[in-house]
Amino acid sequence: MNKLDTNKQGASSSMSPFAALLGRIKADWQVYVLLAPMVIWFIVFLYVPMGGLQIAFKDFSLFRGISGSSWVGFEHFYTLFEDENFLRAIQNTFVISFYGLIFGFPIPIMLALMFNEIHHFVFKRVAQTIAYLPHFISVVIVAGLVISFLSPTTGIVNLALDALGFDKIYFLTNPEYFRAIFIGSNIWKEAGFDSIVYLAAIASVNPSLYESAKVDGATRFQMMYKITLPTILPTILIMLIIKIGNMVEVGFEYIILLYQPSTFETADVISTYIYRVGLQGSQYDVATAAGLFNAVVAFVMVYAANWLSRKYSSSSLW
Amino acid sequence: MSSNPNVTLNKVYKRYGDVEVVKGIDLAIEKKEFIVLVGPSGCGKSTTLRMIAGLEGISDGEVGVAGRVVNNVAPKDRDVAMVFQNYALYPHLNVYDNISFGLKLRKANKEEVEASVKEASSILGLDQYLERRPADLSGGQRQRVAMGRAIVRKPEVFLFDEPLSNLDAKLRTQMRAEIKRLHKRLGVTTVYVTHDQVEAMTLADRIVIMRDGKIEQIGSPMEVFTKPVNTFVASFMGSPPMNLIKGVMVQEEAGFFIKLKDNKVPVPAREGCTFTEGQKVYLGIRPEDMYLSSNGLNNFERISCHVDLVEPLGAEALLHIKLDGQDAVVKTDSRNTSIDEMSESSEIFLNLDYLHIFDGVTENSIY
């Protein structure tokens, strides 16, 4: 196989890059057919819409169309940054994401480490299945469950509080509870499934490292933090970079389903702001400006995280 | 042997469900002794070693280290250090931290750790690599680090699980010599597992040959080479292995002979050896004890043969011959005989001083 590849490279080195690419496509067309749907998806849904980003700099009107609308420079950005609601949405986005990262990121790692320590086969499988299942529940249902559980009249939490002699709490209308409810239920939904990637990383740790440590006198806990954790650190860092890159994209649908005007103070994030301004308020140009800002921040963050990771560890996405 | 062995195995069994992989092993290893467990894949040698280390439970019997039964003692408390086949080095730690890992776990003080690591690294020639990670080391250097990790523990027993099998042939020879030197210098009881009989012969004070979970023979390298107890040991030790030619015992006036198809080999009388007429046997003769000429031989038998193939090895050559329709190998000096001459040989001479006979049914040595 290596020999074959070398020959191919040797042959293509004398051609122009385009001819070489065509040659490769012709030779390995089956692989390119498999790749095509993803490339087409990226082009249609991510690259083509980028052309529409120009409306962030235009006084856009549906009737005049993109080309017919006049340029207004950074006016929409000034509007955004003068809007308290947008500034609040930025703050909320970062606060929710930051707390989500602080509390949500280590839990799948801990879960994976714990699953790895379970030696009873049936118990391990049952525990894993229970942890993975919430991932497959639609956010609409999760939101429904949360609303039902926390309902002031029929919710089990309030019934329990009531039974214990406490006052009922209006969890979903009280802004101070929103972040905890959102982050907590998100962890419940995704932590199990997110642990799979760490379990896979743990499975690749050479078992003789543990045996050697056992002979050297390491306890199970020492093996966990002196062998397992450092060995899966590259995976943890890659996942952290991805999470940081996605920080500004907090679960938009889930927030829409859970929040209400009384909790906007802590719940309204950039994506829900864009939804309200753009689709409900028909200010497409302002919403696009907000979306562009969101994307630029995300790009800077993922780039910075990758740079930091490459500098301080040997792991990076690119 | 002294009456106070350092490692003992008394009727040790290992079972996985219904499958018995170690079947009642008895072994006593003396202090400072270098014991090599050797045998084909699946014979139970690594399992036995792991039972001594405490990495495998013992289904039945007793394992003792330094005079105490350790069946229920955790690996860390058995006072053993193990070197693994794939080195088992921690990839995120440098050489210094890898070597000192066990000491730090035992909460040794900083000065002690430093002194021990320095001592081990100078013994193993690792001084200039202490800051490197395992990924930046060659196979031989990694193996040295693994040994360093075992040395600093100053254990009662070293356990080696096929430590050289991942190295190339040249490095293996070099490391083999280093292990031998190390054992001489440290004088620690060593149990070494390998499937390579050359390693076993060169390193061991005593070799334990295993098959199917049982010990076939225990003895010094020369003992197991010159006095194999059965055809398995005879064919396992030695490279190339001993030739085993099927024959039948016949008694004539001059004594017993092994009758092959077209040839007859006289059996020099030996005290205590008895045969029966018509007894099926294997004639065992090492390739080194078969010659193309009778020069210098006192007690020999000429046998007709046909040379199939000649494999020149430099100073020596291997002749694959048909002897009475059965395959055999002859190892001969190739510096004074051309390959053409060897190919055309039609007779070979067996040195009867080194003749072995095994029973055709039990396959045990009878001569």
Instruction: Provide the shortest C-alpha distance from residue B156 to chain A (in Å).
Output: 13
Rounded average pLDDT over B230-248: 92
Q: Which residues of B touch A209 (CB under 8 A)?
A: 88, 90
Q: Tell me how far apart the alpha carbons of residues B146 and B169 are, in angstroms, rounded to a whole number.
A: 19
Residue B264 has pLDDT above 90, yes or no: no
Mean pLDDT computed over B37-56: 94
Token pair of A36 as six digits: 């095509």
| pLDDT band at residue B1 under the 50/70/90 scheme | very low
Q: Which residues of A57-72 are buried (b: 16+ CB within 10 A; e: fewer)?
A: bbebeeeeeeeebeeb
Q: Mention every residue, 6+ apart, whose C-beta is less than 8 A from residue A63.
A: none
Is the pLDDT assigned to residue B38 strictly greater than 90?
yes
Outline where chain B has alpha helix (H). 45-53, 95-105, 110-124, 139-151, 169-186, 197-203, 221-226, 231-236, 339-343
Question: Chain A partners of B93 at a C-beta cutoff of 8 Å?
Answer: 230
Mean local confidence (pLDDT), B124-151: 91
Q: Among A227, A213, A239, A301, which residue's Cα sits nearest to residue A109?
A: A239
Mutate to test the interface with B, among A210, A212, A232, A233 (most CBs of B within 10 A): A212
- Nearest chain B residue to A314 by CA distance is B92
Chain A positions touching B88 (Cβ under 8 A) are 206, 208-209, 211-212
ipTM over 0.85: no
From the candidates B76, B87, B104, B159, which should be mutated to test the interface with A, based on the most A CB atoms within 10 A?
B76
CA A151/CA B213 separation, integer angstroms? 67
Quick one: pLDDT at residue A299? 87
| Alpha carbon distance A149, A157 (integer Å) | 6
Average pLDDT over residues B296-307: 87
Give me chain B's average pLDDT, please: 90
* pLDDT of B10 above 80: yes
Predicted local confidence at residue A244, as pLDDT: 82
The answer, for A313 touching chain B at a CB cutoff of 8 Å, is: no
Interface contact flag, A211 B54, Cβ < 8 Å: no
Cα–Cα distance between A258 and B251 in angstroms, integer?
102
Which residues face B206 on adjacent strands?
B35
Cβ-proximal residues to A292 (8 Å cutoff; 6+ apart), any chain:
A53, A56
pLDDT confidence of residue A14: 63
Q: What does the pLDDT read at residue A12?
A: 47
Q: If you ran DSSP here, which 8-state letter would residue B210 be given? A: E
Q: Is the pLDDT of residue B352 over 50?
A: yes
pLDDT at A13: 52
- Say whether pLDDT at B254 is over 50: yes
Residue B263 has pLDDT above 60, yes or no: yes
pTM summary value: 0.78
Q: Are B307 and B291 in contact (CB under 8 A)?
A: no
Percent of chain B with pLDDT over 90: 59
Confidence of residue B220 (pLDDT cuts 50, 70, 90): very high
pLDDT at residue A251, rounded to an integer: 75
Beta strands B189-194 and B34-38 are parallel
Question: Which chain B residues are within 8 Å of A215, Cβ to Cβ?
Answer: 53-55, 75-76, 80-82, 102
> Which residues is B356 bridged to in the sheet?
B284
Residue-wise pLDDT for A9-26, tens only, equals: 444 456 788 899 899 999
Q: Give mean pLDDT, residues B220-247.
A: 93
Residue A317 C-alpha, separation from nearest chain B C-alpha, in angstroms: 20
Taking only the tens place, the pLDDT of each residue in B95-132 is 999 999 989 988 888 999 999 999 999 888 899 999 99
pLDDT of the residue at B3:
55
Which parts of chain A have pLDDT scores under 50? Answer: 1-12
